[in-house]
Amino acid sequence: MFGINILGTGSYSPSLNVTNDDMSKIVETSDEWISTRTGIKSRFLSDGESAWQMGAKASERAIEAAGINPEEIGLVIGSTVTGDFYTPSLACLVQNAVGAVNAAAFDLNAACSGFAYSVDTAKRFLQTDDTLKYVLIVSSEVLSRFVDYTDRSTCVLFGDGAGAVVVERSEKLYTSFLGSDGNGAKFLYAKRFFPQHPFRTGETVDYGPDFTNETQFLFQDGKEVYKFATKALPTAAANAAEKIGLDPAEIDWFIPHQANVRIIETAAKNLGVSMDRFIVNLNRHGNTSSASIPTAFDEAVRDGRLKRGQKICLVGFGAGLTYGAVICEY
């Protein structure tokens, strides 16, 4: 089987640690409400650190753990929905910062599924290009950039952070499933700033009838996203497993997107897998979009839970709507 070997992992959290009690000082909420509805107790927020700087720190740690020379990295894939620049990409800035001087670099945007999409993209590049030795995947998010801190229904959910992995080709077990449902785009979005150029005749911008939120802050229909997420997570994992005739029960660790512990509990039930096989760190990080899976992954590697030879499932869902799972051997 053509697969990948995950050589090293790294993650980075910014310095501001904001608890639920801190949140209750800026919006009408409580630790009790946030904890029982989401499982989140605190989150890290950027104190001005940019996405690429956080991504570079996570990547340096992944490269160090992999024990490789960054000059041998042939491709950097960046995943972010909150990049610092329209252009250049997160990947290019990280490529320069870590000294991956021989690498191509690009970003992909699959929101909270971005890490699973990136790992699968890396695998396909490795499969079709024999000269490619190592791929660096970096997910970095400054969600505080577009979260409305006067809206209690969204601001308590999100955090900032970065995670990275270095992968190479191998013959280990590998399967994946990626999906999307653009019809649900209207349930979770943040509009881009649209400048008034000198030749425009009107003042309004037409984003289409579905996107009526007038601000550029993140809009979420929590109930619709919840419904989608509880289906998408088990569907992606089960579909990936089915491709190679694997029973989800044979997977040692699920590393899901960290949005809400109730979503993970429901998905675990639907998959018939016990919760103690799910890596969960959202209580300390909140939802860091595409950075959440590699951050949880790195923590589980470093605290010794994840062991070489175990089967893992990286499974994401998010805006787009997108969903995706990669099952591989660690």
| DSSP assignments along 99-127, one per residue | T-TT-EEEEE--GGGHHHHHHHHHHHHHH
128: Cβ contacts below 8 Å, ≥ 6 apart: none
Which residue among 46, 170, 176, 287 contacts ligand ACO (CB under 6 A)? 287
Torsion of CA 24, 28, 34, 38, to 10 degrees: -130
Query: Which residues in the 135-154 window bind ligand ACO by CB under 6 A?
Result: 152-153
Q: How far is it, in rounded angstroms, from Cα 58 to Cα 164?
A: 6
Report if residue 29 touches ligand ACO, rule: CB under 6 A.
yes
Contact 161, 18 (CB under 8 A): no
x-or-dash pattern for ligand ACO, window 45-84, by CB under 6 A? ----------------------------------------
- Residue 215 DSSP class: S
Q: Which CB sits closer to ligand ACO, 126 or 232?
A: 232
Query: Which residues in the 208-237 window bind ligand ACO by CB under 6 A?
Result: 220, 222-223, 225-226, 229
Using alpha carbons, select from 111, 107, 108, 80 the residue that is nearest to residue 322: 111
Which residue among 37, 172, 191, 231 contacts ligand ACO (CB under 6 A)? 37
Question: How far apart are CB 321 and ligand ACO at their closest, in Å?
Answer: 8
Peptide bond into 14 cis (omega under 30): no
Q: Which CB sits closer to ligand ACO, 7 or 188?
A: 188
Quote the tokens at residue 29.
């909420």
Q: Which CB sits closer to ligand ACO, 34 or 75?
A: 34
Quote the tokens at residue 323.
């969903």
Question: How far apart are CB 134 and ligand ACO at their closest, in Å?
Answer: 29
**Catalytic residue annotation:** 112, 257, 287
Interface with ligand ACO (CB under 6 A) = 29, 33-34, 37-38, 111-112, 152-153, 156, 188, 220, 222-223, 225-226, 229, 259-260, 263, 287, 289, 318-319
